[in-house]
């Protein structure tokens, strides 16, 4: 398959983790005879530094022309603590989502058995967790009208949803549930919010076309509690933009490291694949960031194009690195392996999953692998 991939490494650890995902995609090309063309562009704080905007037009048009976008991370502390900053890195990502029509953000939360011990929760609570969050991504309070009175003392953000915005992501979520354990939970605040009542009405109606899927509802405050008390009760969670932002960070800690979770943002035409974690500026350039979330985002990219065998090869190589302890220090404080080494190991295993040569760190360090 030929694919055009726009690569947007962004800020902080973004470039380091994306570089490992690229090694893995190149390993897939080599192994399965595909041809992926990569073009890199600026986004986030580094784009503000270079071009005074977090999403230069040239980046947006590159993404529009590409089949998929591989995204790293954005954000820089110099903007976080300055409420008066009018240009912010996050605006780049929000605009990109809106412009590309990426209305569904898909965030799988799965516990790797070899990492259960890393979870802040008890083993018996965590084991068996396997759910996916479908977060609406281009509507709601993020994109509603924003107001600030002249005196700067009263502010508001409008949370607005249309039937159309709700139904297009609801269909995706029901289809996902149909191919999984057939349970869909709509998370909302319908006891208080009019927009949530519209979500319930629309989702209930759409549910009639998916009779095999069991639909239930949870208020978001209760959902926040249930995700920690009993995460394995969930299969597909469907929710609006801001609730999804919050509960997906919550879900991400269940497995023990946010450095493992990937996401896909899809629309009718485009797809963007990125780790859930942020730019982790303190770790930048230190070769300690966990590249797995970025690598698994590349696996989601492959699945998006129906390349299931290829994605499976990536996932299996990731599993192997976890089983063999070829991991970054966030997963094992004593680990001496860095970001790049973990990426090399996983990429090499995609090319040759049987090769015990990979277990020999010396060879990896010496760059004897075919793809290093």
Q: Which residues are the active-site residues?
A: 142, 189, 221, 245, 249
Cα(275)–Cα(295) distance, rounded to whole angstroms?
A: 8
Nearer residue to ligand IPM within complex by CB, 135 or 348:
135
Q: Which stretch binds Mn ion (CB under 5 A): 26-34, 146-154, 244-252, 343-351?
A: 244-252
The nearest distance, CB 369 to ligand IPM, in angstroms, is: 33
Q: Which stretch binds ligand IPM (CB under 6 A): 6-14, 89-97, 182-190, 314-322?
A: 89-97
Q: Which stretch binds Mn ion (CB under 5 A): 92-100, 243-251, 317-325, 333-341?
A: 243-251
On whether 197 is known to bind a ligand per the annotation, the reply is: no
Question: Torsions phi, psi of 127, nearest 5?
Answer: -65, 140
SS3 244: helix
94 binds ligand IPM (CB under 6 A): yes
Token pair for residue 124? Answer: 């018996």
On whether 80 is known to bind a ligand per the annotation, the reply is: no
240 binds Mn ion (CB under 5 A): no
165 binds Mn ion (CB under 5 A): no
The nearest distance, CB 89 to ligand IPM, in angstroms, is: 8
How wide is the angle at C-alpha 60 spanned by C-alphas 54 and 64, nearest 5°? 155
- How far apart, in Å, do the first and last CA atoms of the chain sit? 23
Residue 17: CA atoms inside 13 Å, Cβ hemisphere, count? 38
On whether 157 is known to bind a ligand per the annotation, the reply is: no
- Chain positions 240 to 259 lying near ligand IPM, rule: CB under 6 A, are 245
Question: Torsions phi, psi of 59, nearest 5?
Answer: -70, -45
> Whose CB is nearest to ligand IPM?
90
Token pair for residue 364? Answer: 């990896």
Name the H helices within the chain: 14-32, 45-51, 57-65, 77-80, 89-100, 123-126, 163-178, 194-207, 220-229, 241-252, 292-304, 308-323, 339-351, 361-365
Nearer residue to ligand IPM within complex by CB, 257 or 369:
257
On whether 245 is known to bind a ligand per the annotation, the reply is: yes
Nearer residue to ligand IPM within complex by CB, 93 or 190:
93
- How far is the CA of 358 from the CAs of 32, 72, 168, in angstroms? 19, 27, 44
What does the binding site for ligand IPM look like in residue numbers (CB under 6 A)?
90, 93-94, 245
| Residue list for the binding site | 97, 107, 135, 221, 245, 249
Residue ranges of the annotated binding site for substrate are 97, 107, 135, 221
Tell me which residues touch Mn ion (CB under 5 A). Answer: 245
């Amino acid at each position: 398959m030929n694919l055009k991939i726009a690569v947007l490494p962004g800020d902080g650890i973004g470039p380091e983790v994306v570089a490992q995902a690229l090694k893995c995609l190149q390993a897939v090309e080599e192994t399965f005879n595909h041809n992926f063309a990569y073009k890199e562009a600026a986004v986030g704080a580094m784009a503000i530094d270079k071009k005074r905007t977090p999403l230069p037009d040239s980046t947006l048009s590159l993404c529009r022309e590409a089949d998929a976008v591989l995204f790293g991370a954005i954000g820089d502390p110099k903007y976080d603590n300055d409420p008066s900053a009018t240009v912010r890195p996050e605006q780049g990502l929000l605009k990109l989502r809106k412009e590309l029509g990426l209305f569904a953000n898909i965030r799988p939360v799965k516990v790797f058995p070899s990492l259960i011990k890393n979870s802040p929760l008890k083993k018996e609570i965590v084991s068996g967790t396997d759910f996916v969050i479908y977060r609406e991504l281009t509507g709601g309070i993020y994109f509603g009208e924003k107001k600030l009175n002249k005196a700067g003392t009263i502010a508001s953000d409008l949370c607005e949803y249309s039937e159309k915005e709700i139904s297009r992501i609801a269909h995706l979520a029901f289809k996902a549930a149909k191919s999984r354990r057939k349970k869909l939970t709509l998370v909302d605040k319908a006891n208080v919010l009019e927009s949530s009542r519209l979500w319930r009405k629309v989702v209930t109606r759409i549910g009639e076309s998916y009779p095999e899927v069991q639909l239930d509802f949870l208020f978001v405050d209760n959902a926040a509690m249930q995700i920690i008390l009993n995460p394995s009760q969930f299969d597909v969670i469907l929710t609006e933009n801001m609730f999804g932002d919050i509960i997906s960070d919550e879900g991400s800690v269940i497995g023990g490291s946010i450095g493992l979770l990937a996401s896909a943002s899809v629309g009718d035409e485009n797809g963007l694949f990125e780790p859930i974690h942020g730019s982790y500026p303190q770790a930048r350039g230190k070769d300690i960031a966990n590249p797995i979330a970025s690598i698994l985002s590349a696996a989601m990219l492959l699945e998006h194009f129906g390349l299931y065998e290829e994605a499976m090869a990536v996932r299996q190589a990731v599993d192997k690195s976890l089983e063999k302890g070829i991991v970054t220090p966030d997963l094992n404080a004593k680990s001496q392996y860095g970001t790049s080494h973990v990426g090399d190991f996983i990429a090499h295993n995609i090319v040759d999953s049987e090769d015990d040569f990979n277990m020999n760190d010396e060879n990896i360090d010496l760059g004897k692998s075919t793809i290093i």
